[in-house]
Amino acid sequence: MLDLEPINKDFGAYASGLDLSKSLSGRAVEEIEAALDLYSVLVWKNCPINDDQQVSLAENFGKIEVSLLSRVRGKGGPANKSLVPISNVSDEGQMLERDGRRLGSQIANQFWHSDSSFMKSVAKYSFLSARRIPKEGGDTEFADLRAAYDALSDDLKKIINGLIAEHHVFHSRIGLGLKYTSTEIAASPPSYWPLVRSHPITKRKVVFPPVHIRSIKGMTDPEARLLVSELIEHSTQKCFCFTHKWGKGDLVIWDNRMTLHRGKRYDLNESRIMRRITTMVS
Ligand code: OGA
Ligand code: MN
């Protein structure tokens, strides 16, 4: 049976009591989904899992997203292309080039974001497993977008309700100084999502300001980008957040519709190897 120990009152919980490396019963899957509806993030400490087990686990929760990285990466790395290597180590086992785009994209994970908000499909749950962690740093922080919405001023709620934001895969990376050609940018069409959404089951409203937002319909870019940075600043105040300090073998599952997350700095000379897989709302 699933055991839960809340981290914040109704945001984040330590989960245990089920063996995620084995096949799960329908009842266990429902228990995990219900816990995610309530807590948005579940932290499973010391829950070692291999690539195949991680894929099988995620498949219980919906269709698997094919990540953009999997379309461009070569041989090596996890055999299953839906597993995203979140790492400063290449698929061939070398440290990634310090000034390369691939490491730059990994560094972009240190911005507050929601996975794949630039894709046409809605990313639902991400499953992140720690295979090798650095001695220090490399924590992951999560922010509760439901509590953040509730705490917005009435004025700001009025301004953002009904607004549609444009999300683009390279927006945050360009902000970091990574270079993309206009052909590459044009080949990746943006996605559009409301700035305010609600939870499909609990109906709680959330504010949704990931760093991938490039523009907002009906606003100038300076107004839109200032609004997004104000909303990120608001939503990621300490009172809405918790930090997970990884242990080897930890696994964290989060709901991308209800949260923002970001990685924290670590020494890029030390290897950090994580694997992520993400399901979609069908
Ligand atoms: C991710 C991600 C942050 C981290 O896997 O999607 O953003 O701390 N990870 O590795
Ligand atoms: Mn992410």
CB of 234 sitting under 6 A from ligand 1: no
152-184 confidence digits (pLDDT tens): 999 999 999 999 999 999 999 999 999 999 999
| Beta carbon of 115 within 6 Å of any ligand 1 atom | yes
Position 282 scores a pLDDT of 82
Ligand 1 pocket test, pick from 103, 127, 140, 248 with the greatest ligand atom count within 8 Å of Cβ, gives 140
Identify whether the C-beta of residue 101 lies closer than 8 Å to the C-beta of residue 236: no
Taking the complete model, does pTM exceed 0.75, yes or no? yes
* Tens-digit pLDDT profile for residues 100-130: 999 999 999 999 999 999 999 999 999 999 9
Q: What is the mean pLDDT of residues 212-219?
A: 98
Nearest-angstrom CA–CA distance, 14 and 45:
7
pLDDT tens, 6-39?
999 999 999 999 999 999 999 999 999 999 999 9
154 CA from centroid of ligand 1 (Å): 32
Per-residue pLDDT band for 254 (boundaries 50, 70, 90) equals very high
CA-based end-to-end distance of the chain: 27
Residue-level pLDDT at 73 = 65
Q: How many CB atoms lie within 10 A of CB 256?
A: 26
pLDDT of residue 79: 74
d(CA 57, CA 55): 5
Give tens-digit pLDDT for 42-67.
999 999 999 999 999 999 999 999 87
CA of 115 to the centre of ligand 2 (A): 5
Given CA atoms 49, 51, 53, 56 in this order, what sign does their dihedral have?
positive
- The residues near 183 (Cβ < 8 Å, ≥ 6 apart) are none
Nearest by Cα to 262 from 119, 106, 90: 106
Number of H helices, E strands in the chain: 9, 15
So what's the pLDDT on residue 68?
Answer: 74
List of E strands, 65-122 = 84-87
Residues linked to residue 275 through DSSP beta bridges, in sequence order: 85, 129
Distance CA 211, CA 192 (A): 13
Beta bridge partners of 16: 3
Give the rounded distance of the alpha carbon of 55 from its chain centre.
Answer: 17
Output the pLDDT for position 75: 66
State mean pLDDT over 73-83: 75
